Structure 1
Amino acid sequence: MKTPLTPLEPVLRALRVHGQRPAIVEPGAPALGYAGLADRVARLMTLLREHGLAPGGHALLVSPNTADALLAFHAVPLAGGVIVPLNPAFPDESLHFLAAHADPCVALVDSAHLGRLQGRLDDLGVPVIAIGAGGGLFERLERFPRAPLTLPAGLDEDGVISVNYTSGTTSDPKGVMLTHRNAFVNLANLLYHLNLRPGHAFLHALTLSHSNGWGSAWAVTAAGATHLTLPDPAELRQAITASGVTHLCASPSLLAPLVDSAAPLRLPRPVRLLLAGTRPHSRLLGSLQEQGFEVLHGYGLTETSAVLSVNDLSETQGAPPQTLTRQGHPMIYSGEIRVVLDSGEAAPHDGQTPGEIVIRSNQTMKGYYKNPRATRRVMRDGWLHTGDLAVTHPDGRIDILDREGDLLNLAGHPFSSTQIEAVLYRHPSVREAVVIGTHAQGGDTPTAFVTLHPGAQVLGRELLSFCAPHLPDYALPRRIQLVQELPKTASGKVLKHVLREQVREKAVAQPAD
Structure 2
Amino acid sequence: MQTPLSPLDFARRTRRLHGAREAVVDGSLRLTYEQFFDRCDRWSAALQGLGVRQGDRVATIAPNTHAQLESFYAVPQLGAVLVPVNYRLTPDDFAYIVNHSGSTVVCVHSDYLADVDAVRDQMPGVRHFVAFEGTRDGWLDYEAAIAAAEARFSRPEIGELDLLTINYTSGTTARPKGVMITHRNAAMNTIGTLLHLPIAVGERYLWTLPMFHANGWTYTWTVTAAAGTHVCLRRVDPATVFRLIRDEHVALMCAAPTVLISLANAPAETRGDVVPGVRVITAGAPPAAATIERLEGEFGWEVTHVYGLTETAPFITVCAPLPEHADLPPAERAVVKARQGVELLTSGELRVVDAEGNEVPADGQTLGEITVRGNVVMEGYYNDPEATKRAMGDGWFHSGDAAVVHPDGYAEIRDRIKDVIISGGENISSVEVEGTLLRHPAVAEVEIVGVPSERWGETPHAFVVLRPGESATEPELIAFVRDRLAHFKAPRAVTFVDELPKTATGKIQKYVLRGGANLSRQ
| TM-score, length of structure 2 as denominator length | 0.93
Deviations along 1:152-181, one digit per CA (max 9) or x if unpaired, are 423111111000011145943311000000
Question: Does the 8 Å CA contact 2:91/2:119 hold for their aligned counterparts?
Answer: no
Matches within 5 A, 1:228-243: 228-234=231-237, 235-243=240-248
Match of 1:483 in 2: 497
1:312 matches 2:317: no
1:144 aligns with 2:149: yes
The corresponding residue for 1:58 is: 57
Between 104-113 and 306-315, the greater mean CA deviation after superposition: 306-315
More displaced stretch, 409-418 vs 195-204: 409-418
Q: Alignment partner for residue 372 of structure 1, among 373, 382, 385?
A: 385
User: Secondary structure in 1 aligned to 2:119?
Assistant: helix
* 1:159 counterpart (142, 162, 183): 162
The letter of the residue matching 2:143 is F
Query: Structure 2 CA distance, aligned partners of 1:231 and 1:193?
Result: 27
- Paired with 1:331 and 1:373, the residues of 2 have a C-alpha distance of 29
Shift of 1:358: 0.4
Equivalent pair of 1:56/1:81 in contact (CA under 8 Å): yes
Partner AA of 1:229 in structure 2:
C
One of 217, 220, 223 as aligned partner of 2:220 = 217
- Which among 256, 276, 279 is matched to residue 272 of structure 1? 279
| Alpha carbons 1:94, 1:168 under 8 Å: kept | no
Q: What secondary structure is seen at the aligned counterpart in 1 of 2:148?
A: coil
Asked if the contact 1:201/1:227 (under 8 Å) is kept, the reply is yes
Q: Secondary structure at the match of 2:461?
A: strand
SS state of the match for residue 233, structure 1? coil
Q: Is 1:354 the equivalent of 2:367?
A: yes
* Partners of 1:279 and 1:225 in 2: CA distance: 28
Question: What is the aligned partner in structure 2 of residue 18 from structure 1?
Answer: 18
| Letter in structure 1 aligned against 2:3 | T
Indicate if the aligned counterparts of 2:164 and 2:183 stay in contact, CA closer than 8 A. yes
1:466 maps to which of 480, 496, 500: 480
Paired AA for residue 396 in structure 1? G
In the TM superposition, 1:233-272 aligns within 5 A as 233-234=236-237, 235-260=240-265, 263=268, 267-272=274-279
Letter in 1 for 2:281: L
Pair 265,258 (structure 1): closer, same or farther in 2 beyond 3 Å: farther
Q: Per-residue deviation at 1:134?
A: 6.1
SS at match of 1:332: coil
Q: Counterpart of 1:433 in structure 2: which amino acid?
A: V
Q: 2:341 aligns with which of 307, 328, 347?
A: 328
Tell me, what secondary structure is at the counterpart of 2:166?
strand
Q: CA deviation at 1:147?
A: 2.0
CA deviation vs aligned residue, 1:27-52 (integer Å, no higher than 9, x gap): 2x231001101210110001111222
Q: Give the letter aligned to residue 111 of structure 2.
A: A
Distance change (3 Å), C-alpha of 1:85 and 1:318: farther
Q: 8 Å contact 2:81–2:166 — kept in the other structure?
A: yes
486-495 or 181-190: bigger deviation: 486-495
Aligned pair partner of 2:402 in 386, 389, 410: 389
Structure-1 separation of matches of 2:473 and 2:163:
51
Find the counterpart in structure 2 of residue 184 from structure 1.
Answer: 187
Relative to 1, partners in 2 of residues 1:461 and 1:93: Cα closer, same or farther, differing over 3 Å?
farther
Give, in angstroms, the shift of residue 214 of structure 1.
0.2
Partner of 1:132: 133
Q: Which residue of 2 aligns with 1:446?
A: 460
For the pair 1:197 / 2:205, whether they are aligned, the reply is no
Q: Distance in 2 between matches of 1:312 and 1:468?
A: 32
Percent of aligned pairs with the same amino acid: 38
* One-letter identity of the residue aligned with 2:389: R
Match of 2:209 in 1: 206
- Report the equivalent of 2:114: 115
Q: Residue 313 and residue 281 in structure 1: after superposition, are their counterparts in 2 closer, same or farther (change >3 A)?
A: same
1:429 aligns to 2:430 (yes or no): no
Secondary structure of residue in 1 paired with 2:306? strand
Structure 1 contact 15–37 (Cα < 8 Å) conserved: no
SS at match of 2:372: strand
Which whole-Å deviations, capped at 9, do the CAs of 1:54-79 have from their partners, x for residues lacking one?
10110001000001111111100012
Distance in 2 (CA, whole Å) between partners of 1:200 and 1:112 is 30
Q: CA deviation at 1:2?
A: 2.0
Give the corresponding residue for 1:281: 288
Matches within 5 A, 1:29-68: 29-68=28-67
* Maintained 8 Å contact 1:23/1:221: yes
Q: For residue 483 of structure 2, give the secondary structure of its aligned residue in structure 1.
A: helix
Separation (CA, whole Å) in 1 of partners of 2:39 and 2:426? 59
SS class of match (1:505):
helix
- TM-score, normalised via structure 1 length: 0.94
Mapped partners of 1:345, 1:173: distance in 2: 31
108-117 or 312-321, which deviates more: 312-321
Q: Partners of 1:261 and 1:226 in 2: how far apart?
A: 26
Count of residues in correspondence between the two structures: 505
Q: Deviations over 1:264-296 (max 9, x none)?
A: 776324111111111111110111112122211
Q: Deviations over 1:169-205 (max 9, x none)?
A: 5943311000000000011012222211211001111
The answer to whether residue 85 in structure 2 is matched with residue 79 in structure 1 is no
Shift of residue 318, structure 1, vs aligned partner? 4.6
Q: Distance in 2 between matches of 1:314 and 1:175?
A: 37
Residues 89-127 of structure 1 show CA distances to partners (whole Å, capped at 9, x for unaligned) of: 112221222122121011111122111113534542421
Deviation of residue 313 (structure 1)? 3.8
